[in-house]
Amino acid sequence: MTLSMQWVTMAAMLLSGLGMGIVFDGYRVVSNELKFPKWWLPVLDVVYWMAAALIVFRVLYASNNGEVRAYVFIGLAIGVILYYLLFSKIVIIIVKWVISAVRALINFVLKCLNILIVKPLLLLYKLVLVILGFGSALTIFLLKIVIQLVRPFWKLLIWMVRPVLRPMGRWLSPYITKWHVIEKLNKLGLFFAQLWSKWLRR
């Protein structure tokens, strides 16, 4: 292996050490900010080290065909040490800032959705309820007026047909009593009254 290849390999390992430090600090900050359960941390550590070992091996294979020499570990160690001495605090600040920016963006989007979609839908729902309530009240009011207007004609009609209904009533009275017609009509009227009251409460 030539000297230039050794220096290239050492530089690649140094950069790999820097990358390992960045990723480690990044996922630690994210796990703390997002409040991951504590039992997740050992799992994440194992995943991190497995991924780091795989990536370092790929870099090593690309630089010197995977030959493991002492300068490989020296390059990794120098990269990690330089990262924690020079860049660790900066990376942590940047990662926290990114998390805060993402949270602010999500809150902004949720507020926009609330203002543009949720509140108009609630307002439309309330408006429909008001219109239905007004329509129901107007219908009942008009129905009462119609009943008051028709009442005199109804009384006149009953007075005119009373001579005919009396004999018929005497003839139908045993059947009405036998079949409980009046009780059934009362129950039917009570059922429709309850149904009407439930519809008005909606």
Distance CA 130, CA 136 (A): 10
Sign of CA dihedral 49, 51, 54, 60: negative
Distance CA 186, CA 202 (A): 25
pLDDT per residue as tens, the chain (202 positions): 566 777 777 788 888 888 888 888 888 888 888 777 777 778 877 888 888 888 888 887 777 776 777 777 888 888 888 888 888 889 889 988 998 999 899 999 999 999 989 899 999 989 988 888 888 788 888 888 877 777 777 677 666 766 666 665 566 666 556 555 556 666 766 776 666 566 555 5
pTM of the model as a whole: 0.56
